[in-house]
Amino acid sequence: MKNSSFIHRFFKLSQNHTNPKTEIIAGITTFFTMVYIVFVNPSILGVTGMDTQVVFVTTCLIAAFGTIAMGLFSNLPIALAPAMGLNAFFAFVVVSKLGYSWQVGMGTIFWGSVGLFLLTIFQVRYWLMTSVPLSLRVGIGAGIGLFIALIGLKNMGLVVANEATLVTVGNLHSPTLLMGVLGFFIIVVMAAMGRHSGALVSIIIVTALALMFDDSVQLSGQILSMPPSLSPVVGQVDIAGAFDTALLGIIFSFMLVNLFDSSGTLIAVTDKAGISDEQGRFPKMKQALLVDSTSAMAGSFMGTSAISTYIESGAGVSVGGRTGLTAVVVGVLFLCTIFLSPLAAIVPAYATAGSLVFVGILMTSSLVKVAWDDLTEAVPAFITAAMMPFTYSITEGIAFGFISYCIMKAATGRLKELNAPVIIVALLFLVKFAWIG
């Protein structure tokens, strides 16, 4: 009874019109909607040569610590985990395309997270986020969605390279492609029916099929085990090597994307929970922003890419989660998951591909918010979104988006609609193109 009383007081359950049972159910709901990340993140980061079993454990650990901290210090039902999009940008662009080591690439994420932390400390984060026009914010989110979806389609084999047409459809008779497509439809059909655990169910079913029909996927040893040594990944980030002028654009992109992604999610989830005002402010907002920016730095140091708040937290809110107790439950479940690390080596890339495409769908849906009848808003939004997958770079998409926004407003005599942050960012990217390329 004492413990129950303490929990009620600490999390202010009565004031938030909730109870422990509801919060626990909400936490379990949120966990099952986002636990796919412990399989997707190792699958993506493994491309760089990182140990997938270690990344599985560090993903669980940073998600657990960040989410529990969010629950204890901000009393919000919000979970954190490695950000989708940023992990793909790190693996497929910074490391695979540009040729940097994963240690240096993770260093760029670290410095981007430091920038986000400083913006939070000096209380300019919310101001900067609201200063950037809606069309650019939406374009960035949608562009990352298209970028993630392209990687998902590539991983399942549906989209392949072609010298004549750049890309083309893959071998439709391939069993792995068909399993990847099946996984995608399991997710979207379950989501359409209001089932929140589609991504996890999809990964389990496709991996089970892979064990039966794909000779390259083998179940070796036990499923449960003590966590492996974390030394191959944790603390290996090359912070000094990443502090390079040639990488400033990438560092800035990581900071900017995490700024919009994390802050926007916090506002969206608190609004759904009915605890934010018309300006998007909510109780203990400062603490929440500090927790997520600090977790982002810790995540990159641990080798899991930047940490961000997860929109899937809305699933827990939809079933009644209103306080930090929901987040603490999610964090505890992530801690329990670390003993399943051998599974990370079993799950094939095409089993997680459907999750990537589904996340892309969710992120691109925000394009409906763009004022398409106003070309000074529509053109920058389209260019931002389109250039990310077409150039295979989030940085270039952001750069061309900001520059095109300034050109459209200035050339049509609407200079008054430009503000200092947008102009400064556009000029910084122009300097980058002129100086570095």
β strands within 145-261, DSSP E: 159-162, 166-169
pTM of the predicted model as reported, rounded to 2 decimal places: 0.83
Q: What is the pLDDT of residue 38?
A: 92
Residue range 23-42: mean pLDDT, rounded: 91
SS (H, E, C) 100-153: CCHHHHHHHHHHHHHHHHHHHHCCCHHHHHHHCCHHHHHHHHHHHHHHHHHHHH
pLDDT at 249: 87
- Per-residue pLDDT reduced to its tens digit, 366-407: 899 999 999 999 999 999 999 999 998 888 999 999 999 999
Burial 233-263 (b: 16+ CB within 10 A, else e): bbebbbbeebeeeebbbbbbbbbbbbbbbbb
Which residues lie closer than 8 Å to 197 by C-beta, 6 or more apart? 32, 33, 190
Residue 54 DSSP one-character state: H
Maximum pairwise Cα distance, the chain: 71
DSSP 284-326: THHHHHHHHHHHHHHHHHHTS--EEE-TTHHHHHHTT--SHHH
Task: Mean pLDDT check: name the lowest of 6-15, 33-42, 48-57, 268-277.
Answer: 268-277
Q: What is the pLDDT of residues 101-160, one digit of tens each?
A: 999 999 999 999 999 999 999 988 878 777 889 899 889 889 988 998 999 999 999 999
- Which pLDDT tens digit goes with each residue over 405-435? 999 999 999 999 999 989 998 998 898 888 7
d(CA 210, CA 208): 5
Q: What is the pLDDT of residues 278-300, one digit of tens each?
A: 656 777 888 988 999 999 999 88
What is the model's pLDDT at position 328?
97
pLDDT bracket for residue 1 (50, 70, 90): very low
